[in-house]
Amino acid sequence: MQTCIIETISEFKKWRAALRQDQTLGLVPTMGALHSGHGYLIESARRECARLVVSLFVNPLQFAPGEDYATYPRDLESDLAFCTGRGVDILFAPGEQEMYPRPQRTFANVEVLSDGLCGQFRPGHFRGVATVVLKLLNIVGPDRAYFGEKDAQQLALVRRMVMDLNLSVEIVPIPIVRGEDGLAYSSRNQHLTPEQRKVASALYRALQAADRMASVVEDPTQVKEAGLAVLRQEPLIRVEYVEVVDPEEMQPVERISGPVRIVGAIWIGSTRLIDNVLSEGMGKTLRPGENKMRRK
Protein backbone atom coordinates (compact mmCIF):
# COMPACT_ATOMS: atom_id res chain seq x y z
CA MET A 1 0.00 0.00 0.00
CA GLN A 2 1.37 3.39 -1.01
CA THR A 3 1.29 5.96 1.77
CA CYS A 4 -0.78 8.96 0.73
CA ILE A 5 0.82 12.37 1.29
CA ILE A 6 -1.36 15.28 2.41
CA GLU A 7 0.07 18.78 2.63
CA THR A 8 -2.88 20.96 3.65
CA ILE A 9 -4.96 21.07 6.81
CA SER A 10 -8.24 21.32 4.89
CA GLU A 11 -7.49 18.22 2.82
CA PHE A 12 -6.43 16.31 5.91
CA LYS A 13 -9.63 17.21 7.75
CA LYS A 14 -11.67 15.87 4.83
CA TRP A 15 -9.78 12.57 5.09
CA ARG A 16 -10.26 12.53 8.87
CA ALA A 17 -14.00 13.18 8.60
CA ALA A 18 -14.43 10.17 6.30
CA LEU A 19 -13.03 7.71 8.86
CA ARG A 20 -15.41 5.35 10.61
CA GLN A 21 -15.88 6.22 14.27
CA ASP A 22 -14.87 2.72 15.34
CA GLN A 23 -11.44 3.01 13.68
CA THR A 24 -8.65 3.80 16.14
CA LEU A 25 -6.43 6.55 14.73
CA GLY A 26 -2.77 6.73 15.70
CA LEU A 27 -0.34 9.63 15.24
CA VAL A 28 3.46 9.58 15.19
CA PRO A 29 4.67 13.22 15.16
CA THR A 30 8.10 13.69 13.52
CA MET A 31 10.33 16.31 11.95
CA GLY A 32 11.33 13.90 9.20
CA ALA A 33 14.78 12.43 8.49
CA LEU A 34 13.18 9.15 9.56
CA HIS A 35 15.40 6.43 11.04
CA SER A 36 15.12 3.15 12.95
CA GLY A 37 13.94 4.93 16.08
CA HIS A 38 11.00 6.41 14.19
CA GLY A 39 10.50 3.00 12.61
CA TYR A 40 9.95 1.41 15.99
CA LEU A 41 7.40 4.10 16.90
CA ILE A 42 5.60 3.54 13.62
CA GLU A 43 5.64 -0.25 13.96
CA SER A 44 4.27 -0.01 17.51
CA ALA A 45 1.50 2.32 16.40
CA ARG A 46 0.69 0.19 13.35
CA ARG A 47 0.08 -2.87 15.56
CA GLU A 48 -2.34 -0.97 17.79
CA CYS A 49 -4.24 1.33 15.43
CA ALA A 50 -6.62 0.72 12.52
CA ARG A 51 -5.40 3.84 10.73
CA LEU A 52 -2.03 5.54 11.12
CA VAL A 53 -0.82 9.07 10.41
CA VAL A 54 2.81 10.19 10.52
CA SER A 55 3.22 13.95 10.61
CA LEU A 56 6.34 15.55 9.14
CA PHE A 57 6.97 19.15 10.04
CA VAL A 58 10.24 20.89 10.89
CA ASN A 59 8.86 23.33 13.42
CA PRO A 60 10.59 26.72 13.37
CA LEU A 61 9.10 27.72 16.73
CA GLN A 62 11.31 25.24 18.60
CA PHE A 63 14.59 26.44 17.10
CA ALA A 64 16.39 29.37 18.71
CA PRO A 65 18.43 31.82 16.59
CA GLY A 66 21.70 30.18 15.60
CA GLU A 67 20.36 26.62 15.93
CA ASP A 68 20.21 24.17 13.04
CA TYR A 69 16.74 24.91 11.62
CA ALA A 70 18.06 25.78 8.15
CA THR A 71 20.33 22.73 7.99
CA TYR A 72 18.00 20.24 9.68
CA PRO A 73 17.88 17.13 7.42
CA ARG A 74 14.99 17.17 4.95
CA ASP A 75 14.24 14.41 2.42
CA LEU A 76 10.53 14.11 1.75
CA GLU A 77 10.88 11.43 -0.93
CA SER A 78 12.94 9.18 1.34
CA ASP A 79 10.57 9.73 4.28
CA LEU A 80 7.57 8.88 2.11
CA ALA A 81 9.21 5.61 1.04
CA PHE A 82 10.05 4.89 4.69
CA CYS A 83 6.39 5.30 5.64
CA THR A 84 5.12 3.26 2.69
CA GLY A 85 7.36 0.37 3.71
CA ARG A 86 5.79 0.37 7.17
CA GLY A 87 2.14 0.57 6.24
CA VAL A 88 1.47 4.20 7.15
CA ASP A 89 -1.86 5.42 5.77
CA ILE A 90 -1.15 9.16 5.64
CA LEU A 91 2.02 11.24 5.70
CA PHE A 92 0.79 14.66 6.79
CA ALA A 93 3.49 17.07 5.62
CA PRO A 94 2.34 20.69 5.84
CA GLY A 95 4.68 23.55 5.01
CA GLU A 96 5.55 26.39 7.36
CA GLN A 97 3.03 28.74 5.72
CA GLU A 98 0.30 26.11 6.12
CA MET A 99 0.95 25.67 9.84
CA TYR A 100 1.67 29.32 10.59
CA PRO A 101 -0.15 31.43 7.97
CA ARG A 102 0.03 34.49 10.22
CA PRO A 103 2.50 35.53 12.92
CA GLN A 104 1.84 33.25 15.87
CA ARG A 105 0.26 35.11 18.79
CA THR A 106 -0.97 32.13 20.80
CA PHE A 107 1.39 29.66 22.46
CA ALA A 108 1.22 26.64 24.77
CA ASN A 109 3.58 26.76 27.73
CA VAL A 110 4.05 23.99 30.30
CA GLU A 111 5.59 25.63 33.34
CA VAL A 112 8.23 24.03 35.58
CA LEU A 113 8.75 20.97 33.34
CA SER A 114 10.20 23.17 30.60
CA ASP A 115 12.46 25.29 32.80
CA GLY A 116 15.58 23.17 33.35
CA LEU A 117 17.69 20.68 31.40
CA CYS A 118 17.27 21.37 27.67
CA GLY A 119 14.94 24.26 28.50
CA GLN A 120 17.74 26.06 30.32
CA PHE A 121 20.03 25.90 27.30
CA ARG A 122 17.38 26.31 24.59
CA PRO A 123 15.15 29.24 25.64
CA GLY A 124 11.70 29.03 24.07
CA HIS A 125 12.29 25.52 22.73
CA PHE A 126 9.60 23.79 24.74
CA ARG A 127 7.07 26.55 24.18
CA GLY A 128 7.55 25.82 20.48
CA VAL A 129 7.28 22.07 21.05
CA ALA A 130 4.12 22.32 23.14
CA THR A 131 2.50 24.71 20.66
CA VAL A 132 3.12 22.56 17.59
CA VAL A 133 2.11 19.35 19.36
CA LEU A 134 -1.13 20.96 20.51
CA LYS A 135 -1.79 22.14 16.94
CA LEU A 136 -1.11 18.67 15.52
CA LEU A 137 -3.35 16.99 18.08
CA ASN A 138 -6.15 19.42 17.22
CA ILE A 139 -5.68 18.95 13.46
CA VAL A 140 -5.24 15.17 13.39
CA GLY A 141 -7.57 14.26 16.27
CA PRO A 142 -5.81 10.96 17.09
CA ASP A 143 -6.94 8.45 19.67
CA ARG A 144 -3.30 7.68 20.46
CA ALA A 145 -0.09 9.64 19.87
CA TYR A 146 3.32 7.97 20.08
CA PHE A 147 6.45 9.65 21.46
CA GLY A 148 9.93 8.24 22.01
CA GLU A 149 11.48 8.13 25.47
CA LYS A 150 14.79 9.50 24.15
CA ASP A 151 13.26 12.98 24.40
CA ALA A 152 12.25 12.37 28.00
CA GLN A 153 11.65 16.01 28.88
CA GLN A 154 9.48 16.48 25.80
CA LEU A 155 7.50 13.34 26.63
CA ALA A 156 6.90 14.46 30.22
CA LEU A 157 5.86 17.91 29.00
CA VAL A 158 3.40 16.54 26.43
CA ARG A 159 1.88 14.17 28.97
CA ARG A 160 1.36 17.03 31.42
CA MET A 161 -0.15 19.29 28.76
CA VAL A 162 -2.61 16.58 27.75
CA MET A 163 -3.56 16.02 31.39
CA ASP A 164 -3.88 19.70 32.32
CA LEU A 165 -5.90 20.63 29.22
CA ASN A 166 -8.12 17.52 29.32
CA LEU A 167 -7.21 16.52 25.77
CA SER A 168 -8.91 13.38 24.46
CA VAL A 169 -5.79 11.49 23.40
CA GLU A 170 -3.66 8.75 24.93
CA ILE A 171 0.06 9.51 24.94
CA VAL A 172 1.99 6.29 24.33
CA PRO A 173 5.71 6.25 25.32
CA ILE A 174 8.02 4.09 23.21
CA PRO A 175 11.42 2.80 24.48
CA ILE A 176 14.67 4.17 23.10
CA VAL A 177 16.13 2.44 20.06
CA ARG A 178 19.93 2.12 20.10
CA GLY A 179 22.71 0.97 17.86
CA GLU A 180 24.97 -1.93 18.83
CA ASP A 181 27.29 0.49 20.65
CA GLY A 182 24.40 1.90 22.67
CA LEU A 183 24.10 5.25 20.89
CA ALA A 184 20.46 6.30 20.71
CA TYR A 185 19.15 6.79 17.18
CA SER A 186 18.72 10.46 16.29
CA SER A 187 18.28 12.45 13.10
CA ARG A 188 21.32 14.47 14.16
CA ASN A 189 23.60 11.40 14.22
CA GLN A 190 24.11 11.79 10.48
CA HIS A 191 26.05 15.01 11.16
CA LEU A 192 28.75 13.06 13.05
CA THR A 193 32.02 12.16 11.36
CA PRO A 194 33.15 8.52 11.71
CA GLU A 195 35.52 9.55 14.51
CA GLN A 196 32.82 11.52 16.29
CA ARG A 197 30.38 8.63 15.88
CA LYS A 198 32.74 6.33 17.82
CA VAL A 199 33.06 8.88 20.61
CA ALA A 200 29.31 9.60 20.83
CA SER A 201 28.52 6.26 22.48
CA ALA A 202 30.31 7.56 25.59
CA LEU A 203 27.09 9.38 26.50
CA TYR A 204 25.21 6.14 27.02
CA ARG A 205 28.18 4.59 28.85
CA ALA A 206 28.19 7.60 31.15
CA LEU A 207 24.49 7.19 31.90
CA GLN A 208 25.01 3.49 32.57
CA ALA A 209 27.83 4.32 35.02
CA ALA A 210 25.56 6.82 36.76
CA ASP A 211 22.79 4.21 36.90
CA ARG A 212 25.14 1.73 38.57
CA MET A 213 26.11 4.35 41.14
CA ALA A 214 22.44 5.13 41.81
CA SER A 215 21.92 1.49 42.76
CA VAL A 216 24.26 1.85 45.76
CA VAL A 217 24.03 5.50 46.89
CA GLU A 218 21.24 8.00 47.53
CA ASP A 219 23.32 11.12 46.80
CA PRO A 220 22.58 12.47 43.28
CA THR A 221 25.88 14.39 43.29
CA GLN A 222 27.80 11.12 43.43
CA VAL A 223 25.61 9.69 40.69
CA LYS A 224 26.25 12.66 38.41
CA GLU A 225 29.97 12.51 39.10
CA ALA A 226 30.06 8.86 38.03
CA GLY A 227 28.62 9.84 34.66
CA LEU A 228 30.81 12.92 34.25
CA ALA A 229 33.93 10.86 34.95
CA VAL A 230 33.21 8.80 31.82
CA LEU A 231 32.61 11.85 29.66
CA ARG A 232 35.80 13.58 30.80
CA GLN A 233 37.79 10.77 29.20
CA GLU A 234 36.70 11.96 25.74
CA PRO A 235 38.32 15.27 24.72
CA LEU A 236 35.96 15.66 21.74
CA ILE A 237 32.96 15.87 24.08
CA ARG A 238 31.72 19.10 25.63
CA VAL A 239 29.24 18.39 28.41
CA GLU A 240 26.12 20.54 28.58
CA TYR A 241 24.56 18.76 31.55
CA VAL A 242 24.20 15.51 33.44
CA GLU A 243 21.35 15.53 35.92
CA VAL A 244 19.25 13.26 38.13
CA VAL A 245 15.58 14.20 38.01
CA ASP A 246 12.12 13.14 39.04
CA PRO A 247 10.67 11.17 36.08
CA GLU A 248 7.40 13.10 35.99
CA GLU A 249 8.34 16.67 36.98
CA MET A 250 11.83 16.56 35.41
CA GLN A 251 13.22 18.50 38.38
CA PRO A 252 16.51 17.66 40.15
CA VAL A 253 16.14 15.45 43.20
CA GLU A 254 17.94 16.04 46.51
CA ARG A 255 17.96 12.37 47.42
CA ILE A 256 17.36 9.20 45.42
CA SER A 257 14.50 7.49 47.19
CA GLY A 258 12.84 5.79 44.22
CA PRO A 259 12.99 5.67 40.42
CA VAL A 260 14.79 8.63 38.82
CA ARG A 261 15.56 9.69 35.28
CA ILE A 262 19.27 10.23 34.64
CA VAL A 263 19.57 12.62 31.72
CA GLY A 264 22.46 14.06 29.76
CA ALA A 265 23.23 16.40 26.88
CA ILE A 266 26.59 16.77 25.13
CA TRP A 267 28.15 18.47 22.15
CA ILE A 268 30.51 16.78 19.73
CA GLY A 269 31.69 19.44 17.33
CA SER A 270 28.55 21.24 16.15
CA THR A 271 26.23 18.31 16.94
CA ARG A 272 24.16 18.23 20.12
CA LEU A 273 23.07 14.83 21.45
CA ILE A 274 20.73 13.93 24.31
CA ASP A 275 20.00 10.64 26.07
CA ASN A 276 18.63 9.26 29.31
CA VAL A 277 18.04 6.14 31.35
CA LEU A 278 15.36 5.40 33.90
CA SER A 279 17.11 4.17 37.03
CA GLU A 280 15.56 2.00 39.71
CA GLY A 281 17.64 3.63 42.39
CA MET A 282 18.52 1.40 45.31
CA GLY A 283 16.52 -1.67 44.42
CA LYS A 284 13.19 0.03 43.83
CA THR A 285 10.73 -1.61 41.44
CA LEU A 286 9.75 0.23 38.27
CA ARG A 287 6.42 0.04 36.57
CA PRO A 288 6.29 -2.73 33.94
CA GLY A 289 8.12 -1.92 30.72
CA GLU A 290 9.67 1.36 31.86
CA ASN A 291 13.31 0.40 31.45
CA LYS A 292 13.06 -1.59 28.24
CA MET A 293 15.34 -0.74 25.35
CA ARG A 294 15.27 -1.79 21.73
CA ARG A 295 18.52 -2.46 19.88
CA LYS A 296 18.94 -2.55 16.11
Active-site residue numbers? Answer: 38
Q: How many CB atoms lie within 10 A of CB 7?
A: 14
Apex 146 CA angle, 142 and 152, nearest 5: 135
Neighbour-count burial for 205-236, b at 16+ CB within 10 Å, e otherwise: bbbbbbbebbeeeeebeebbebbbebbeebee
Q: Give the number of C-alpha atoms closer than 13 A to the C-alpha of residue 145, restricted to the C-beta side.
A: 22
3-state SS class at 27: strand
Mark residue 122 as left, alpha or beta (left: phi above 0; alpha: psi -120 to 50; beta: remaining).
beta
Q: Are 256 and 282 in contact (CB under 8 A)?
A: yes
Q: List strands edge to edge, sheet with 25-30.
A: 4-6, 90-92, 51-56, 25-30, 144-148, 170-174
CA distances from 288 to 115, 147, 261, 280 (A): 29, 18, 16, 12
3-state SS class at 50: coil
Q: Are 160 and 32 in contact (CB under 8 A)?
A: no
Q: Are 254 and 220 in contact (CB under 8 A)?
A: yes
